[in-house]
């Protein structure tokens, strides 16, 4: 084989490999990314896809946290103060999960209920997840820095400015 | 007073750093050796000043001096001493101070251990290193001063976030920083080489130990973080593909590529341009990691400060460092002469392939990390890219790398007969096949991940051992002779063997923990028994206990296998006196084949919600990671790193000889 032909082959092999990687990445991006919605956006959607992982964020509604009959499934609603979504989560809720606190949950929809397999409450009690802050701002019920006590009778006042760092 | 000394030392360090950054560069452009020499003493002075500064802040923490804002925000008198000290870097300001201290430490180490470096290269390297310090010192002094005083001194502090009051996390940041920042030396060397316009074998030999040291620290740092997540977050996971984890993983991938490409420069004089490029990328990714983590642009399970001013400052630093170095690279890179031609199938070829894959992997992680930011920026919705994406993409990308890892060391430099290499490996094929079949028989048909992963791990492990056997001519000469050869193997070979074998163990651990985890969540009452993966858990009791600065609910389980008593597990849910979030301490009993893992949750009716896991082969994960780091350390002690590079040193010796 001549040097030029060999170089051509090398380039071709390289391009094929690159193409393969790009295909895998694009396919994975198409299927495996998780979309984030606020409760209002979910309500506005006509059809909620049940085969797509969805992440929703908001506040855990006051007095909404209950245990199902099996004792380990938690039922609660996540609200952006305009609309609420029912969530079911089997397992131990994170330590910082409280009513009135910001929460992000992820899973698949079954009807109008999100069957969550992941519940994220943030590591610091003064901290509001940016996604939640966004959802609340979008619903028009809350502005940055404004206390939430009016809307939520219970618990802490989430304050996005006071985020503790580490 | 001590606090003011610390602050003053910090300002002085900035002055010294400016001098060290500017003077040697100017002097070396006119080849004034006397002024170039200023870099050495300056680097030591800078290091000592930053030590004083760091000691002053530590003193404030240890004595709980709440007149300092930073201490008041992050410490408390009744914290155990370990966490008073680790509190120094358990916050933004203090951790940045640790960052520059480590930058200066590496600079100082180059001065102290780099006696045989040519003056020009050394002073330029130290100057570039110092310019980075200047940037970060300005960042600290202008946006995040740890020595800021409070006018109204509080009686007690706010304490450290309870999640961070943990031995694993006490040492996680320093190790991670030693790794992150350690790549700055490779970067500075690369910049110095570009300014000089010279990259040769001796350059690679000088750079490699520093890269290796940084890589070892980063490996340990990432391992500690992962270990902490495993036992502290209470759901038994060890890697979440969280953007903050990715921020440390990307420099690790790029650093691993750099380690391997530097070998080719050192041994064969090829891939010079590429190695310089990787050195820039590795440190650039470290800087980007700092930016992403510190600026709050990322949403993650970690809670971080969202201070736009700080973010913009680091972004500017990032642009200068990366933009500047790429400009220099574009200017000087093409003039670096290549060398050492090789065929695609050869040791160099396999190392190049390693580099392609590692950089592709880095690119994929970068894409996954930045994609949500990009989508958000163009207002196309909010998305998150998590574990499913990476699992799908990473396995096909990394598999060829692991396959080649067993073959690469068997190939000779320049050109290799692939058939000859492949035909010698019958034992490796056999072992891999046995592993796949055995896994299939033992674990049944629960997805291909299990036997695929175990096959891959066995392939790599036996391939590594085969390579060692060939090196010592096992079976081809007398056994005694083989042993002699074994002892005489260079440390670098040992390092490679240990590290590659460690990766095989880690892959086995990942496969086990990822595929065969058993998880049971239920309500249990006292005395109730439950079988999890063949182990019988008995829920004994729950009681209140008191720790140094927290109250805890302690749940107790006894575990039996058949009639045999295995262990008693005690998990804790802690509530710290200073408030903050409650934390979970999972009860873990580690065995060779897996971990027993138990967590007690809330009260539910008459019983408690409990979570019981069987986490198979988790110990292999940590063991493998330790072997990776150990391999790096062993390789670091190789003779050639102690002796130094031959080429330029010989020239220097010759001129000295002529003088004498």
**Domain map (residue ranges) of chain A:** 3-32, 35-162
B392 contacts in A (CB within 8 Å)?
A: 24, 27-28, 31-32
**CB atoms B388 and A28 under 8 Å:** yes
A33 contacts in B (CB within 8 Å)?
A: 371-372, 383-386, 389
B386 contacts in A (CB within 8 Å)?
A: 32-34
Least confident of B244-253, B386-395, B396-405: B386-395
Q: Is B110 exposed, middle or buried (0-12, 13-18, 19+ CB in 10 A)?
A: buried
Among A46-55, B24-33, B131-140, B422-431, name the most confident range. B131-140
Contact B44, B108 (CB under 8 A): yes
Between B286 and B379, whose confidence is greater?
B286
Return the residue of A nearest to B234 by Cα: A94
Q: What is the SS3 assignment for B524?
A: strand
**CB atoms B523 and A72 under 8 Å:** yes
What is the mean predicted confidence (pLDDT) over B467-477?
86
**CB atoms A166 and B302 under 8 Å:** yes
Least CB-CB distance to A165: which of B92, B301, B381? B92
CA distance B229 to chain A (A): 12
What is the mean predicted confidence (pLDDT) over B178-200?
91
Least confident of A129-138, B145-154, B571-580: A129-138
Least confident of A23-32, B72-81, B347-356, B519-528: A23-32
B523 contacts in A (CB within 8 Å)?
A: 70-72
- pLDDT score of B659 more than 60: no
Q: Which residue has the tokens 């400060």?
A: B305
- pLDDT score of A160 more than 50: no
Among B30-44, B99-113, B237-251, B572-586, name the most confident range. B99-113
Phi and psi of B583, rounded to 5°? Answer: -125, 155
How many residue contacts between A and B have a Cβ separation below 8 Å? 133
pLDDT band at B642 (very low <50, low <70, confident <90, very high): low
CA-CA-CA-CA dihedral for B174, B177, B182, B185, to nearest 10: -120
Is A34 in CB contact (< 8 Å) with chain B?
A: yes
- pLDDT score of A165 more than 70: no
Least confident of A45-54, B265-274, B397-406, B417-426: A45-54
Q: Which residues contact B85 (CB under 8 A, 6 or more apart)?
A: B58, B61, B62, B170
Contact B215, B178 (CB under 8 A): no
B607 contacts in A (CB within 8 Å)?
A: 71
pLDDT band at A131 (very low <50, low <70, confident <90, very high): low
> Which pLDDT value is given to residue B342?
80
The complex's ipTM works out to: 0.73
Return the residue of A nearest to B575 by Cα: A95
What is the mean predicted confidence (pLDDT) over B43-60?
96
Is A22 in CB contact (< 8 Å) with chain B?
A: no
A21 contacts in B (CB within 8 Å)?
A: 360, 364, 397
**CB atoms B604 and A67 under 8 Å:** yes
Mean model confidence pLDDT for chain B: 87
> Which pLDDT value is given to residue B654?
42
Least confident of A41-45, B201-205, B379-383, B487-491: B379-383
- pLDDT score of B254 more than 50: yes
- pLDDT score of B432 more than 90: yes
pLDDT band at B235 (very low <50, low <70, confident <90, very high): low
Q: Which of A112, A122, A109, A117 is nearest to A92 (CA)?
A: A117
What is the mean predicted confidence (pLDDT) over A31-36?
81
Q: What is the SS3 assignment for B381?
A: coil
Q: Enumerate residues 99 to 158 of chain A having a beta carbon within 8 A of any beta carbon in chain B.
A: 120, 122-125, 127, 129-131, 134
- pLDDT score of B79 more than 80: yes
> Which pLDDT value is given to residue B450?
87
> Which pLDDT value is given to residue B124?
92
- pLDDT score of A153 more than 70: no
Return the residue of A nearest to B389 by Cα: A32
Q: How far apart are alpha carbons A37 and A132 in whole angstroms?
A: 10
CA distance A36 to chain B (A): 5
**CB atoms B234 and A92 under 8 Å:** yes
**CB atoms A122 and B303 under 8 Å:** yes
A31 contacts in B (CB within 8 Å)?
A: 388, 392
- pLDDT score of A164 more than 50: no
Q: Which of B435, B260, B440, B429 is nearest to B353 (CA)?
A: B260
- pLDDT score of A150 more than 80: no
CA distance A29 to chain B (A): 7
Tell me which of B76, B242, B299 to substitute to probe the interface with A (most A C-beta atoms closer than 10 Å): B299
Q: How far apart are alpha carbons A142 and B320 in whole angstroms?
A: 39
> Which pLDDT value is given to residue B318?
87
**CB atoms A28 and B611 under 8 Å:** no
C-alpha B216: how far from chain center: 7
Return the residue of A nearest to B397 by Cα: A21
Fold for A35-162, please state it: OB fold (Dihydrolipoamide Acetyltransferase, E2P) (2.40.50)
A67 contacts in B (CB within 8 Å)?
A: 604
Question: Which two three-digit tokens encode residue A64?
Answer: 């909404």
A29 contacts in B (CB within 8 Å)?
A: 371, 385, 389
Q: How far apart are alpha carbons B483 and B473 in whole angstroms?
A: 9
Least confident of B9-13, B281-285, B300-304, B541-545: B300-304
> Which pLDDT value is given to residue A158?
39
């Amino acid at each position: 084989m001549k040097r030029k032909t060999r170089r051509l082959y090398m380039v071709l092999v390289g391009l094929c490999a690159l193409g393969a990687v790009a295909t895998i990445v694009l396919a994975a991006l198409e299927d495996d990314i998780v979309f984030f919605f606020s409760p209002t956006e979910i309500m506005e959607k006509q059809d909620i896809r049940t085969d797509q992982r969805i992440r929703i964020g908001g506040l855990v509604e006051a007095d909404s946290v209950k245990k199902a009959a099996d004792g380990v499934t938690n039922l609660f609603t996540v609200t952006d103060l305009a609309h609420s979504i029912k969530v079911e989560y089997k397992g131990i809720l994170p330590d910082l999960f409280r009513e009135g606190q910001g929460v992000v949950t992820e899973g698949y929809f079954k009807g109008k209920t999100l069957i969550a397999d992941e519940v994220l409450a943030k590591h610091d009690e003064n901290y509001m997840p940016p996604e939640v802050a966004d959802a609340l701002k979008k619903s028009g019920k809350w502005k940055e820095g404004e206390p939430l006590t009016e809307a939520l009778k219970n618990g802490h006042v989430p304050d996005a400015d006071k985020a503790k760092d580490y | 007073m001590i606090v003011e000394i610390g602050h003053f030392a910090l300002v002085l360090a900035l002055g010294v750093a400016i001098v060290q950054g500017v003077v040697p560069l100017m002097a070396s452009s006119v080849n004034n050796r006397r002024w170039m020499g200023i870099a050495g003493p300056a680097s030591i002075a800078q290091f000592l000043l930053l030590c004083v500064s760091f000691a002053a802040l530590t003193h404030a923490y240890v004595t709980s001096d709440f007149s300092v804002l930073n201490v008041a925000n992050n410490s408390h008198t009744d914290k155990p001493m370990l966490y008073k000290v680790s509190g120094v870097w358990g916050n933004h300001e203090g951790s940045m101070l640790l960052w520059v201290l480590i930058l200066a430490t590496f600079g100082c180490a180059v001065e102290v251990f780099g006696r045989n470096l040519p003056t020009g290269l050394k002073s330029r390297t130290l100057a570039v290193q110092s310019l980075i310090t200047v940037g970060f010192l300005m960042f600290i002094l202008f946006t995040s001063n740890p020595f800021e005083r409070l006018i109204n001194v509080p009686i007690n502090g706010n304490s450290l976030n309870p999640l961070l009051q943990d031995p694993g996390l006490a040492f996680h940041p320093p190790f991670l920083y030693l790794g992150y920042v350690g790549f700055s030396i490779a970067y500075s060397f690369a910049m110095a080489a570009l300014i000089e316009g010279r990259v040769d074998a001796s350059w690679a030999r000088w750079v490699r130990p520093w890269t290796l040291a940084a890589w070892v620290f980063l490996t340990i740092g990432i391992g500690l973080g992962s270990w902490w997540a495993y036992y502290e977050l209470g759901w038994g996971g060890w890697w979440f593909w969280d953007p903050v984890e990715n921020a440390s993983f990307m420099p690790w991938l790029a650093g691993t590529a750099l380690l391997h490409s530097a070998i080719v420069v050192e041994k064969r004089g090829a891939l010079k341009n590429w190695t310089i490029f990787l050195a820039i990328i590795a440190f650039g990714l470290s800087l980007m990691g700092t930016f992403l983590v510190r600026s709050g642009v990322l949403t993650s399970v970690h809670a971080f400060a969202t201070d736009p001013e700080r973010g913009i400052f680091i972004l500017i630093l990032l642009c200068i460092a990366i933009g500047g170095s790429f400009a220099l690279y574009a200017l000087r890179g093409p003039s670096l002469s290549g060398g050492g031609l090789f065929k695609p199938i050869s040791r160099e070829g396999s190392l190049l392939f390693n580099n392609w894959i590692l950089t592709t992997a880095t690119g994929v992680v970068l894409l996954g990390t930045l994609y949500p930011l990009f989508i958000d920026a163009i207002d196309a919705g909010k998305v998150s890219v998590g574990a499913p994406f990476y699992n799908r993409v990473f396995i096909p990308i990394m598999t060829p790398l692991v396959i080649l890892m067993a073959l690469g060391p068997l190939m000779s430099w320049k050109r290799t007969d692939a058939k000859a290499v492949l035909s010698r490996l019958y034992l490796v094929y056999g072992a891999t096949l046995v592993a796949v079949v055995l896994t299939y028989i033992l674990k049944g048909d629960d997805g291909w991940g299990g036997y695929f992963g175990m096959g891959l791990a066995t392939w790599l492990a036996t391939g590594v051992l085969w390579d060692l056997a060939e090196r010592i001519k096992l079976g081809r000469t007398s056994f005694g002779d083989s042993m002699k050869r074994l002892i005489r193997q260079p440390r670098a070979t040992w390092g490679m063997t240990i590290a590659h074998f460690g990766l095989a163990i880690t892959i086995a651990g990942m496969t086990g923990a990822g595929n065969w985890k058993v998880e049971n969540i239920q309500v249990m009452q006292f005395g109730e028994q439950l079988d999890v993966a063949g182990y019988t858990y008995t829920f004994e009791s729950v009681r209140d206990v008191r720790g140094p600065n927290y109250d805890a609910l302690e749940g107790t389980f006894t575990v039996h296998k058949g009639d045999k008593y295995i262990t008693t597990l005690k998990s804790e849910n802690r509530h710290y006196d200073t408030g903050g979030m409650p934390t979970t301490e999972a009860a873990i009993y580690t065995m060779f084949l897996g971990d027993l893992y138990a967590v007690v949750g809330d009260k539910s009716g008459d019983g408690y919600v409990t979570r019981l896991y069987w986490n198979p082969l988790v110990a292999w994960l940590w063991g493998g990671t330790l072997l990776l780091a150990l391999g790096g350390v062993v390789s670091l002690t190789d003779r050639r790193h102690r002796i130094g590079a031959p080429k330029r040193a010989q020239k220097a010796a010759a001129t000295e000889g002529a003088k004498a």
